[in-house]
Structure 1
Amino acid sequence: MNRRRFLGIGAAAVGAGALGAFAVPAAARLLTEGQPGLLLSSAVELPEAFQVPLPLPPVLRPVRSDGSTDYYEITQQVARLEILPGLRTEAWTYGGSYPGPTLAVRAGRETVVRHRNELPVPSVVHLHGGHTPADSDGYPIDLILPAASGRSGDAKGHAAMAGMAGMAGMEHGAGLTLARTTNSDRTYTYPGRQRAATLWYHDHRMGFTGPGIWRGLSGFHLVHDDEEDALPLPRGDRDLPLMLADRAFAEDGSLRYPAIDPALTVPGVTDEYMNGVLGDVLLVNGAPWPRLDVDRARYRLRLLNASNARLYRLELDPQPAGGDALVQIGGDGGLLEAPVAHDAVEIAPAERFDLVVDFSRYPPGTSVRLMNRFGSERTAEVMRFDVSSRPVQDDSAVPERLAAFERLDPAAAATTRTFGFRRSRNDGWTINGRPYVPGRALASPALGTTEIWRFFTDLHHPVHLHLDHFQVLSRNRRQPGPYDAGWKDTVDLRPTEAVEVLVRFTDYPGAYMLHCHNLEHEDMAMMADFVVE
């Protein structure tokens, strides 16, 4: 791949004003406005907004259940979907749909998911936010090879591995192990030892997470429990999972993506998109700028940012009288201790915000747009809610206390570790000055201990931690920010910021991941292993 050219784009960025990682002035301007990445425009005429009804992903039923476990099967397959009206788009899917089917599971019950890969490329499945054993976490070289290959020695799979090895500066195959690579089927076991939360599952193949998710490999995984069920929160048709994503389309309706290698055996994007790929079409649950008829009642909106690099600042227009339109009840790791009211929320790639919106605060017949204040022109609008005029009953409420919340004690931390997310002159996107090498751990926390992990950045990086959720302790040595409440697995860091988090390593030893969730950064080696011992 054009690795040398990438490394020669400019000097390492060392602060908010250092723009060596960017190839064009437009990208620098977007950075100053809080939005990393570069826009990839569609070649097709875009549809009018608010013409398509909001779709909801199908809920997958288990193929069987026993006293402790529910068993599911998902086939990863190519499908031709009508995403833009009147055009067909070839997508990589879980079960033939985008988003993939939703898994709705119970805390305390084991969930076993068998994935079969009928895609043309290897894949890996990561349950994002899942508290799982290491062999089911979706380590990026635990490949499921395509069914068409028939054998674990598939040449395409090994070519992809060699490409990533070269990207990380290793000799061919050095440091890699294919011990957990499987043929076309793989079974993931999720013990369910976690509280109710909005999780999601997605592709996690080393070097190719960006194109995999861009082409459609993502879906919701909702965990429910008795504590949440006892609350009078909106439920049923008024409990809406909303997956936000941006994409770009070619004239024939196919997906555009600036991969160096269209066959996806060599990782990376062309130079100008190294800081992230932004699309000009905003999708909600796979539909462009959809609309939804809503009752004059409370709705629960489970917002997921499944974009590769785009940040959103979400706000309702018009605001209801008195403001505080978005009442946050939960985040990445489930319910907050108490609700937090916002006029707007900022959501980085991979973050989830669980919000309650009371549409009875609007007059009947009002059209309420969900706006993206970090966007412009077509990317400034997300979807529209049309408030019904018919009378309805709503017995839901948002209690002043939502859930029991254990606060971790920083005084109990066994150690403090520091991780720098930076662009290096010689090695591209790095953590602590190193590009990713599988099997090279940057930390080895002891099982059962609590640690303080300090993340600092040069540019903009949403940082994701596998295995356990964490609590934000400070931001720039001050109090946590307005969107840092509760248990988190992804924290958004703006240029030159530093965030300290408290994390307790529980239940499962083994190798896990720490990485940037700007997918183009991740694919260009901004990842690290840590091993719980």
Structure 2
Amino acid sequence: MNRRRFLGLGASVLGAGALAAVAVPSAARLLGEGRPGRLLTSGLELPPPFQVPLPVPPVLKPVGGDATGDRYEIVQQVARLEILPGVKTEAWTYGGSWPGPTVVARSGRAAVVTHRNQLPVPSVVHLHGGHTPADSDGYPVDLLLPVGSSGSSGAMAGMAGMAGMPGMDHHAAGKSVTGERTHTYPGHQRAATLWYHDHRMGFTGPGVWRGLAGFHLVHDDEEAALPLPHGDRDLPLMLADRAFAEDGSFRYPAAGDDEPGVTSDYMNGVLGDVILVNGAPWPRLDVDRARYRLRFLNASNARLYRLELDPQPPGGDALVQIGSDGGLLEAPVAHDALEIAPAERFDVVVDFSRYPPGTAVRLLNRFGSGRTAEVMRFDVSSRQVSDDATVPEQLSTIEKLDASAAANTRDFTFRRSRGDGWTINGDPYEPGRDIARPALGATELWRFSTDLHHPVHVHLNHFQVLSRNGADPGPYDAGWKDTVDLRPAEEVEVLVRFTDYAGTYMLHCHNLEHEDMAMMADFVVE
């Protein structure tokens, strides 16, 4: 980065006056590695690591169905959970657990999910990575009001602090419902690790922080025909960091009662000092000397992870990536470490037979320090077991999108505003105002550029990363993606084809504090 570019970036982040008031080394530290967020510490003694067994989220059973699909019901409710040993924490949950129950769907078969809101606040459900019609996508002001709420006045009460925003009165009143909402996910997509979470405008951060997240797994015939690990050796792993108050409740630096966003100290993201996997602090898992499929999901609000096994197996290449946000890669990619930004998913295979019996294998976070540098532990059994799983050299066939066929090239800049907020193309979010209108069936080239660190998420369709800073894609960009990790002062080009469904969808940063403080935009497929 040359001096002119550095000073220009500093001015956009800090403002010209602020840049003049700080030494260049301070600005350099601000940019640095670009990892966002501020640590929020817990007010009670934290448990030692690797004591709690890894929980596996329950699989949700259908309540009915027919030849075309299955019906599910989920009650959003307050529950008191034992997250830290011996301590009860009040959580907002899907179905009374955190993570919520896992929906297991089949490609080509619809999953029809009815949510009933018994929380004290409105909610919005988004199936992240889902290829869905617009009315089931989870637009951030399409509120599901709690049971017993009344009409549009209840909608606006639920959006305290945002009622004066342009477009709010019409959109919140027009699309809000009370008590229950049914989402139809047609299943017109390949096997993939998806997840569902709260998406309420201005309050996604606290909603997810308090527990509103769960897995949604899609399977298909192509994946089933491969000799990959399955059954008990196919594990969804939701990574999240949280902080707790002295009484065991979640700590979160909300801007105020019913106010969207966070206090200014935390506007670049909230980091917790407790690392949770599937809702358990620093858990442990007994594993056979066999291959396991680990479906990593970063469900943290803002924390980045660099995952690494310690010790590394002989020869390295410990984490063999087989899938990304949008499902299987064409061919496996071996990593010694894996960098995962908020909302990204990486499916990897780990062969624990490469370790001697009795080895304790820690999963580390090289981007963490102190307690946040450890994630969980795998204890390798000494039992003799059979393992017929392998990782084929060819996993799938992926159609390569053609940049020369792009109907449009669009630029989207992700920047901090000069006030306490975040912008796309210089504007904070306004519901109902679109930033692009791609044609249904068209392929477009979208170019994302950043000031600081922003994981960028596109709704409706997965995309393919074309380049980073004019060069080849990065080591974690393979396959179909719906979230791409952008580091400071970086530019990434992606190709996306808009298929099947017209309507209004979202483009936003998936640092949830950035999202809540207006780093979102609508696009309309027409």
TM-score exceeds 0.5: yes
2:374 maps to 381
2:413 to 420, 426, 447: 420
1:201 aligns to 2:199 (yes or no): no
1:6 maps to none
Which letter maps to 1:87? V
1:74 maps to 74
Shift in Å at residue 344 of structure 1? 0.3
**2:464 touches 2:480 (CA, 8 Å); kept in 1?**
yes
**2:80 touches 2:89 (CA, 8 Å); kept in 1?**
yes
Point out 4+ residue stretches in structure 1 off by more than 6 angstroms: 25-28
1:219 aligns to 2:219 (yes or no): no
1:472 aligns to 2:469 (yes or no): no
How far apart are the structure 1 equivalents of 2:318 and 2:19? Answer: 37
Q: 1:339 to 1:173 in 2, by over 3 A?
A: closer
Identical aligned pairs, as a percentage?
A: 77
Which letter maps to 2:36? P
1:59 maps to 59
1:294 maps to 287
Shift in Å at residue 32 of structure 1? 2.1
Q: 1:426 to 1:282 in 2, by over 3 A?
A: closer
How far apart are the structure 1 equivalents of 2:445 and 2:207? Answer: 32
**1:422 touches 1:429 (CA, 8 Å); kept in 2?**
yes
Shift in Å at residue 164 of structure 1? 2.5
1:184 to 179, 182, 185: 179
Q: 1:406 to 1:362 in 2, by over 3 A?
A: same
1:142-181 mapped onto 2 (5 Å cutoff): 142-149=142-149, 151-155=150-154, 157-161=155-159, 163-166=161-164, 170=166, 173=168, 176-181=171-176
1:38 aligns to 2:38 (yes or no): yes
**2:168 touches 2:431 (CA, 8 Å); kept in 1?**
no
Shift in Å at residue 69 of structure 1? 1.2
**2:317 touches 2:335 (CA, 8 Å); kept in 1?**
yes
Cα RMSD, aligned residues only: 1.9
**2:288 touches 2:385 (CA, 8 Å); kept in 1?**
yes
**1:50 touches 1:383 (CA, 8 Å); kept in 2?**
yes
Which letter maps to 1:81? L
Shift in Å at residue 160 of structure 1? 3.9
**1:175 touches 1:438 (CA, 8 Å); kept in 2?**
no
Which letter maps to 1:243? M
1:411-437 CA-to-partner distances (Å, cap 9, x unmatched) read: 110010000000121472000000000
**1:27 touches 1:38 (CA, 8 Å); kept in 2?**
no
Q: Give TM-score scaled by structure 2 length.
A: 0.94
Q: Give TM-score scaled by structure 1 length.
A: 0.93
Query: Number of residues paired by the alignment?
Result: 512
1:436 aligns to 2:429 (yes or no): yes
2:6 maps to none
**1:75 touches 1:115 (CA, 8 Å); kept in 2?**
yes
How far apart are the structure 1 equivalents of 2:521 and 2:411? Answer: 13
Which letter maps to 1:402? L
Shift in Å at residue 152 of structure 1? 2.2
Q: 1:279 to 1:335 in 2, by over 3 A?
A: same
Please, which runs of 5 or more residues in structure 1 have no aligned partner? Answer: 1-9
Which letter maps to 1:525? A
2:13 maps to 13
1:363 maps to 356
1:522 maps to 515
2:248 maps to 253
How far apart are the structure 2 equivalents of 1:190 and 1:454? Answer: 29
1:395 aligns to 2:388 (yes or no): yes
Q: 1:105 to 1:267 in 2, by over 3 A?
A: same
Which letter maps to 1:158? M
Shift in Å at residue 260 of structure 1? 1.4
**2:324 touches 2:480 (CA, 8 Å); kept in 1?**
yes
Shift in Å at residue 177 of structure 1? 4.3
Shift in Å at residue 179 of structure 1? 1.3
**1:175 touches 1:439 (CA, 8 Å); kept in 2?**
no
**1:145 touches 1:154 (CA, 8 Å); kept in 2?**
no
How far apart are the structure 2 equivalents of 1:28 and 1:144? Answer: 44
1:319 maps to 312
